[in-house]
Structures are given as C-alpha cells and as structure tokens.
C-alpha cells in the first residue's frame, strides 16, 4: 500500500473515518472557528486570514467543483442516452421527472405558506431604523423566455457558459443521433463511457479535498455572519428553517417511501455528502457532480436515469428556494400589514414554481426570484432588505433541501423504470470513497515511470 494518505483515518484502533465523517468534522470545526473569530473581530484576521487565505482556498474548492460540472454532465448524459437505447424511455423519464419536480416544488411552497400563516412571523414588526433602500431587483426571466432559450444557437457558447438546459438539450439530440448511426457509433460510445469514468475519478479527487474546502467555506461564512443580524428577523428564520426541515424530513421522505418503498434512512445516509456540499457551497449546480455520484454509486440508480434527472433537477427544481419564497412573502405581508388573500397566495405558489424553472442553482438566486414573486402580488420589493442579512445561511440550508428534492425525484423515476440496483442501495459501504480509489493503476504507473526513465 503506497501513495495517498488522504483517506487514512485518524480514528484510533486502526479505525478509518469515512470521508463523510471527515467532512462533518470540517464543518463543525468551521462553525466553531467562525463563531470565535466573529466574536474576536480582529481586523488582521478578518482581512488576511478569512478574507484572504480562507477566501482563496474556498474559491479554489468551489471552482474545482464547477470545473467538473459541464464535462461530467456531457459525458454521463451522452452515455445515459446511448445506454437507454430506447427513445421512448427517455421521453418517459423526461416527462415523469418534470411532473414530479413541479409537484414537489408546489407542495413545498404550499406547506411553507400554511406554516407561515399559522406561525405569523412579521406581525408587529417595527420598521423604524431599517434601511429599505438600494435593492434594485434584477430581472428574473419569464417562463416563456426560459423555454425558448432551451435551444442553443451555439452549442459551444452553451458549454462555455455552463447553460445547463441548453447543454442537456444539445447532448440529448447528439445522443439520439449517435443511436441512429447504429453500429458505426460503437467506438464513440465506448469513448464516452471511458470519459464518463474518467470524470467520475476526477470527482473522487476533488471530493477528497472536501473536508478542507468545507472547513474554510463554513469558517468564512460564520466569521462574516454575526448573530446580531438574526435577532430582528428571528421569527422569519425559525419559521423558514422549520418549514425547510419539515419538507426535508417529512414530505420528501414520505414521497420516497410511498412511491418506491425504499428506506428513507438509508437514503438520507447516502445523500448526506451531497447535502454537506450543497450546504457549504450554496449552489445546486456546483453540487451536481456529488449528487450524481451519490445517487449512482452509493444508491445504485442507473446512470441512464440519473445523468438526465440530476442536472435537470439542479436547474429547474428548487423546493427549498420555493419554501423561502413562501415564508418570505407571508413575513413581508405581515410586516407591511397587507392581506394577500387566497388568490394572492395561489399566485405566489404559481409564480414561485415558474420562477424556479428559469433560474439556475447558484448562490443567492432565490432572492432575485423573490423580487419577481413580490412584484406580482404587489408587495414592496424593498422589503427584501429585511431578510438580506440572514439570506446566506438560509441559502445554505435551502440548497441542501433543493438537491435532496432532486435526488428523491431521480430515485422515484428510476425505481418506476426498474433502474435501481437494490443490492447497491442496501449495501452501506457501496460507493464509499476508499483509499484504493485514489491509487494510480500500477501497470500505468510502471509504464509512466519507464517512459520517464528513458528521457
């Protein structure tokens, strides 16, 4: 046994810590350090350590994740389409996942609004001293624009800009064309399968740095986010967090059990790394490689379904974001003393579902969509200033909920098509990143060494 010690656990008696456990430790250590540094509030540390070194490492880590997304989605989807071999199945998977994504989002926001109406955050809120100026809402695209833009004019630009819906569209067309060429495509298909495996290895490499990446990202966030920001809007934060957890642990898990009969506990254990990545990066998009890896290698969902459903969900399905919009709307309606009425809330549900289709899973986009929802029901957009301060932490939690929704729908669709390998799902160790995964193939190693020797 040689090479990397990345996965060499430090637990006693020869017990190795799993990568997930290490990421958890990184996260908790990050919270503790962040809270301490926030209290210390030292200018040097804030500028050079947190704003400098930590910001740099955190950015490198998130960049590395984003770097994987486009090539991984391309090769896995191409492999998926050619692997399905049946275009009707592809249509079914597309239709079912789209329907389920809309359903979970509508359900999420409905529950959020009901919960918020019961709790009533924002009633009796004192607006004095709140600076409500300066929030010019960026425009969220209309749903028609979104549909029109699914077809790229230039695929190279789509790939360069990471336009996920366009990439999915183009790759599917390409995959179908490959299928149409029949046996002549054999070499190309094998090449894509190989590239898909290569990309999965790159995911493994990047993921092995996650404990450090997560540690710095969390430490930075908690250093910069003071507790004082939370106090005035505590009712909003608590209601929102409650609604998010309700959706995460109850609604989604009931759906999973009901539609598939699979164990929610096993599911939760296996999706945890992706949730931690989503929490730390606040981006469903950047988390795609980890979500994809969790559902395929850890849960046994076939790549033919996952390679489509996961990136599609990361782009159009945002349950957590919809929940935030529901709670925020009720909160702001209470603050401003405006009664939206049943029609108002139904509009909010419809708008939030449509808005979630059009906006990519990147940090903070939920707030942009909120401006659109508020505008539609006549609430002052400046109200967003009230919740801006706490939005980063809320974004982290809702992104974890967003990707869990993606994984649940992916699993439901795959199970319906008989595309889940239950022996993988039930094996607690399946797909765990192990030490062996980080080894270089010895024969290649020897060849490379020989080649270097010759020079």
Residues lying near ligand ASP in the complex (CB under 6 A) are found at 282-284, 318, 321, 361-366, 395, 398-399, 402
Q: Which residues contact 155 (CB under 8 A, 6 or more apart)?
A: 166, 167, 170
Q: How far is the CB of 282 from ligand ASP (least distance, A)?
A: 5
CB-nearer residue toward ligand ASP: 221 or 260: 221
Q: How far is the CB of 251 from ligand ASP (least distance, A)?
A: 17
Q: How far is the CB of 214 from ligand ASP (least distance, A)?
A: 16
Is there a contact between 383 and 258 (Cβ–Cβ < 8 Å)? no
Q: Quick one: which of 351, 358, 362 has its CA closest to 106? A: 351
The residue of the chain with the least Cβ separation from ligand ASP equals: 366
Q: Identify the sign of the CA torsion 61, 67, 68, 73.
A: positive
CB-nearer residue toward ligand ASP: 37 or 286: 286
Q: How far is the CB of 398 from ligand ASP (least distance, A)?
A: 5
Q: How far is the CB of 70 from ligand ASP (least distance, A)?
A: 16
CA of residue 326 relative to chain centroid, distance: 20
Q: How far is the CB of 363 from ligand ASP (least distance, A)?
A: 5
CB-nearer residue toward ligand ASP: 382 or 391: 391
Is there a contact between 348 and 373 (Cβ–Cβ < 8 Å)? yes
Q: How far is the CB of 404 from ligand ASP (least distance, A)?
A: 11
Residue 195, CA distances (Å) to 75, 79, 90 in order: 6, 9, 22
Q: Which residues contact 312 (CB under 8 A, 6 or more apart)?
A: 94, 97, 98, 101, 164, 165, 168
Q: Identify the sign of the CA torsion 200, 256, 330, 221.
A: negative
Distance CA 297, CA 19 (A): 15
Is there a contact between 404 and 275 (Cβ–Cβ < 8 Å)? yes
Q: How far is the CB of 368 from ligand ASP (least distance, A)?
A: 8
Q: How far is the CB of 367 from ligand ASP (least distance, A)?
A: 7
The residues that bridge with 301 in the sheet, in sequence order, are: 420
CB-nearer residue toward ligand ASP: 382 or 406: 406
CB-nearer residue toward ligand ASP: 141 or 361: 361
Q: Which residues contact 124 (CB under 8 A, 6 or more apart)?
A: none
CB-nearer residue toward ligand ASP: 280 or 321: 321
Distance CA 320, CA 402 (A): 5
CB-nearer residue toward ligand ASP: 90 or 330: 330
Distance CA 331, CA 345 (A): 12
CB-nearer residue toward ligand ASP: 202 or 368: 368
Distance CA 286, CA 66 (A): 5
CB-nearer residue toward ligand ASP: 321 or 329: 321
């Amino acid at each position: 046994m040689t090479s990397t010690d990345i996965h060499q656990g430090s637990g006693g008696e020869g017990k190795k810590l799993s990568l997930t456990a290490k990421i958890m430790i990184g996260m908790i250590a990050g919270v503790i350090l962040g809270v301490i540094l926030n209290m210390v509030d030292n200018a040097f540390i804030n500028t050079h350590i947190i704003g400098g070194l930590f910001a740099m490492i955190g950015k490198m880590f998130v960049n590395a994740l984003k770097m994987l997304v486009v090539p991984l989605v391309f090769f896995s989807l191409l492999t998926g389409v050619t692997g399905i071999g049946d275009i009707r199945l592809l249509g079914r998977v597309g239709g079912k996942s789209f329907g389920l994504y809309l359903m979970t989002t509508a359900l999420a926001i409905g529950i959020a609004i009901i919960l918020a109406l019961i709790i009533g955050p924002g009633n009796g809120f004192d607006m004095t001293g709140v600076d409500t100026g300066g929030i010019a809402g960026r425009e969220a695209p209309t749903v028609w624009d979104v549909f029109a833009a699914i077809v790229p004019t230039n695929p190279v630009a789509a790939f360069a800009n990471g336009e996920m819906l366009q990439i999915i569209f183009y790759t599917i067309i390409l995959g179908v064309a490959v299928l149409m060429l029949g046996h002549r495509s054999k070499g190309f298909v094998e090449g894509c399968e190989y590239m898909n495996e290569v990309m999965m290895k790159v995911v493994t490499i990047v993921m092995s740095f996650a404990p450090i990446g997560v540690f710095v990202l969390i430490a930075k966030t908690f250093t910069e986010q003071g507790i004082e920001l939370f106090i005035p809007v505590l009712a909003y934060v608590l209601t929102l967090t409650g609604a998010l957890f309700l959706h995460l642990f109850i609604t989604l898990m009931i759906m999973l059990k009901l539609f598939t009969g699979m164990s929610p506990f096993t599911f939760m254990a296996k999706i945890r790394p992706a949730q931690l990545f989503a929490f730390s990066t606040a981006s469903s998009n950047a988390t795609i490689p980890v979500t994809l890896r969790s559902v395929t290698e850890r849960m046994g969902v076939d790549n033919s379904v996952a390679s489509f459903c996961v990136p599609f969900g990361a782009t159009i399905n945002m349950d957590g974001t919809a929940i935030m919009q529901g709670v925020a709307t009720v909160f702001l309606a209470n603050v401003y003393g405006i009664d939206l009425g049943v029609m108002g809330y139904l509009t909010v549900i419809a708008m939030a579902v449509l808005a979630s289709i059009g906006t990519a899973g990147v940090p903070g986009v939920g707030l942009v969509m909120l401006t659109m929802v508020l505008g539609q029901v006549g609430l002052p957009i400046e109200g967003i200033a009230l919740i801006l301060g706490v939005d980063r932490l809320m974004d982290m939690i809702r992104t974890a909920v967003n990707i869990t929704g993606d994984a649940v729908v992916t699993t439901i669709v795959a199970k319906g098509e008989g595309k889940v390998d239950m022996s993988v799902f039930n094996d607690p160790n399946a797909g765990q990143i192990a030490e062996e995964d980080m080894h270089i193939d010895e024969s290649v190693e020897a060849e490379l060494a020989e080649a270097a020797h010759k020079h």
